[in-house]
């Protein structure tokens, strides 16, 4: 009996379950595997033998997950030990996989998850373990190397741009409209923040300033340009990344963040919009300053999801299984853009070592010389990824989502 295993890791996205269903559908269709297992709570749960046999669950109880946000299989932020120093976790893991006759493992995740794919692949090769390991990308941050973009990014961008349009209109109804500040996710990169440039009315951007982590933030320059713009139009709309840093390399939101780190050493950020608000009020530009920290809504808003994103996520899962059925192992499935208009893409194989522990930064050439806006190249890159609206099942006027009992 030959079985396969799929699991999810890291922060959820609106479309991560689409990749999971892609794996399930292709595994069932290909008949390469007798059973499809799911690892609950990622590699951390698998190490605790938390596996369920999806093949024993009626498919009609699972198919709705393609249009359900968040991680149906649960997630984790677990860093495995270095196998060159301690092999105990690896021996335990592969013993559990052997117990369930697992011959292929599909891991859906971001940068840190691809590090896990890398280490597991290396360990299997060094120890002649006949188990295939394939990585499937996801992250709203769009910061994975070697892939044109990541599943999850398009939907998050669509949500951000749509929310900006709506809040801009809401904040534009008074004689003195003041200043509105939106904070997006993006610890290291400004991909999500840049999507604010897509928010247009009658072809004109509604956002005045966009601040990305790739540009050093200058307090004085910020206050001067905001003050000038406010005097000019009695209203300013600002979008800033949670990861913007000052000249000393310190996060602007550091004072209001929890100052905690996850197991991979990443700082937990948040609070930039309030820091900027305080700067504006203290400078005396205006006391009418409203803020909006989008937070986790950016990664779970299926009602604003991109159909293009959903289908690409689904296809990445399917292609991972196809590759595995051909005997391929030790790679991540990347997305290659073929053309923009009409938009087309396909998949490529990427070595996880080129993804893990690397960051794909927003191109400096796509940032204007003033450092507070992005170029048309950025808009042309993001726009195709937000296209299409999924036909989400509805019930009593609300989305009908599916939960996997685990």
pLDDT in single tens digits along all 406 residues of the chain: 899 999 999 999 999 999 999 999 999 999 999 999 999 999 999 999 999 999 999 999 999 999 999 999 999 999 999 999 999 999 999 999 999 999 999 999 999 999 999 999 999 999 999 999 999 999 999 999 999 999 999 999 999 999 999 999 999 999 889 999 999 999 999 999 999 999 999 999 999 999 999 999 999 999 999 999 999 999 999 999 999 999 999 999 865 444 554 454 545 556 899 999 999 999 999 999 999 999 999 999 999 999 999 999 999 999 999 999 999 999 999 999 999 999 999 999 999 999 999 999 999 999 999 999 999 999 999 999 999 999 999 999 999 999 998 7
115 and 31 within one domain: yes
Give all strands (DSSP E) within 97-249, no chain letters.
102-109, 132-137, 178-184, 200-201, 204-205, 209-211, 235-241
Residue with tokens 């296209």: 387
Tokens of 375: 């170029």
Cβ of 328: how many Cβ atoms within 10 Å? 14
Specify the pLDDT at position 258: 46
Q: Please state, in angstroms and as integers, the Cα–Cα distance from residue 298 to each residue in 141, 177, 248, 314, following that order.
A: 10, 25, 29, 19
How far is the C-alpha of 164 from the C-alpha of 229, rounded, in Å? Answer: 18
58 and 19 within one domain: yes
Q: Is residue 62 part of a domain?
A: yes
Q: Is residue 322 part of a domain?
A: yes
How far is the C-alpha of 247 from the C-alpha of 91, rounded, in Å? Answer: 46
241: phi then psi, degrees, rounded to nearest 5: -80, 145
How far is the C-alpha of 41 from the C-alpha of 51, rounded, in Å? Answer: 9
Q: Is residue 179 part of a domain?
A: yes
Specify the pLDDT at position 393: 95
Specify the pLDDT at position 269: 55
Given 257, 277, 300, the domain boundary residue is 300
Specify the pLDDT at position 270: 60
Question: 3-class DSSP state for residue 371?
Answer: coil
How far is the C-alpha of 183 from the C-alpha of 86, rounded, in Å? Answer: 41
Angle between helices 88-99 and 111-126 (to 10 degrees): 80
Specify the pLDDT at position 253: 80
Specify the pLDDT at position 267: 53
329 and 312 within one domain: yes
Given 300, 315, 339, the domain boundary residue is 300
Specify the pLDDT at position 405: 82
Question: 3-class DSSP state for residue 71?
Answer: coil
CATH of the domain at 122: 3.40.50.450
Each residue of 191-212: b (16+ CB within 10 Å) or e? bbbbbbbbbeeeeebbbbbbbb
74 and 13 within one domain: yes
50 and 29 within one domain: yes
Specify the pLDDT at position 256: 44
Let me know how long the chain is.
406
How far is the C-alpha of 39 from the C-alpha of 294, rounded, in Å? Answer: 30
348 and 320 within one domain: yes
Q: Is residue 136 part of a domain?
A: yes
Q: Is residue 352 part of a domain?
A: yes
Contact between residue 63 and residue 388 where contact means Cβ atoms under 8 Å apart: no
17 and 93 within one domain: yes
138 and 72 within one domain: yes
How far is the C-alpha of 55 from the C-alpha of 341, rounded, in Å? Answer: 40
Query: Strand pairing of 398-399 and 394-395?
Result: antiparallel
Domain housing 262: 153-300
133 and 26 within one domain: yes
Given 266, 283, 300, the domain boundary residue is 300
Specify the pLDDT at position 36: 98
126 and 84 within one domain: yes
How far is the C-alpha of 315 from the C-alpha of 347, rounded, in Å? Answer: 9
CATH of the domain at 278: 3.40.50.460
Q: Please state, in angstroms and as integers, the Cα–Cα distance from residue 290 to each residue in 86, 157, 158, 235, 258, following that order.
A: 51, 22, 22, 11, 22
**Is residue 141 among the annotated active site residues?**
yes
Provide CB contacts within 8 A for 374, sequence distance 6+. 194, 197, 210, 212, 362, 366, 367, 368
Specify the pLDDT at position 110: 96
Q: Is residue 275 part of a domain?
A: yes
Q: Is residue 363 part of a domain?
A: no
293 and 352 within one domain: no
Cis status of the peptide bond prior to 119, with omega within 30 of 0: no
180 and 81 within one domain: no
Domain count, the chain: 2
Q: Which of 141, 188, 208, 309 is catalytic?
A: 141
Q: Is residue 371 part of a domain?
A: no
């Amino acid at each position: 009996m030959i079985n396969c295993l799929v699991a999810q890791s890291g922060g959820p996205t609106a479309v991560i379950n689409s990749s999971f269903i892609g794996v399930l559908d292709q595994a069932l269709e290909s008949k390469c595997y007798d059973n499809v297992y799911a690892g609950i709570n990622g590699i951390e749960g698998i190490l605790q033998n938390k596996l369920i046999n999806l093949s024993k669950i009626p498919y009609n109880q699972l198919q709705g997950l393609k249009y359900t946000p968040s991680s149906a299989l649960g997630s984790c932020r677990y860093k495995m030990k270095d196998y060159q120093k301690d092999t105990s976790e690896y021996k335990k893991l592969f013993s559990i996989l052997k117990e369930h006759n697992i011959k292929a493992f599909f891991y859906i995740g971001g940068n840190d998850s691809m590090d896990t794919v890398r280490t597991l692949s290396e360990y299997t090769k060094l120890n002649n373990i006949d188990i295939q390991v394939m990585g499937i990308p996801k992250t709203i941050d769009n910061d994975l190397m070697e892939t044109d973009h990541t599943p999850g990014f398009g939907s998050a961008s669509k949500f951000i741009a749509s929310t900006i349009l709506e809040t801009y209109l809401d904040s534009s109804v008074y004689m003195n409209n003041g200043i509105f500040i939106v904070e997006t996710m993006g610890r290291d990169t400004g991909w999500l923040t840049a999507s604010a440039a897509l928010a247009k009315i009658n072809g004109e951007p509604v956002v005045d300033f966009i601040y990305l982590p790739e540009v050093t933030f200058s307090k004085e320059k910020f206050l001067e340009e905001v003050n000038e713009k406010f005097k000019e139009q009695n209203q300013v709309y600002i979008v800033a990344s949670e990861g913007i840093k000052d000249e000393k390399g310190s996060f602007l939101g550091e004072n209001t963040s929890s100052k905690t780190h996850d197991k991979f050493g990443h700082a937990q950020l948040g609070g930039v919009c309030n820091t900027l608000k305080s700067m504006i009020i203290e400078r005396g530009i205006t006391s009418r300053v409203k803020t909006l920290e989008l937070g986790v809504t950016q990664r779970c808003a299926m009602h604003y999801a991109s159909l293009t994103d959903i289908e690409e996520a689904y296809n990445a899962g399917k292609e991972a299984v196809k590759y595995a059925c051909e005997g391929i192992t030790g790679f991540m499935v990347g997305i290659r853009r073929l053309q923009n208009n009409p938009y087309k893409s396909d998949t490529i194989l990427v070595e996880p070592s080129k993804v893990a522990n690397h960051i794909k930064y927003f191109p400096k050439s796509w940032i204007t010389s003033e450092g507070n806006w992005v170029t048309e190249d950025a808009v042309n890159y993001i726009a195709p990824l937000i296209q299409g609206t999924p036909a989400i099942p509805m019930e009593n006027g609300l989305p009908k989502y599916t939960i996997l009992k685990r």
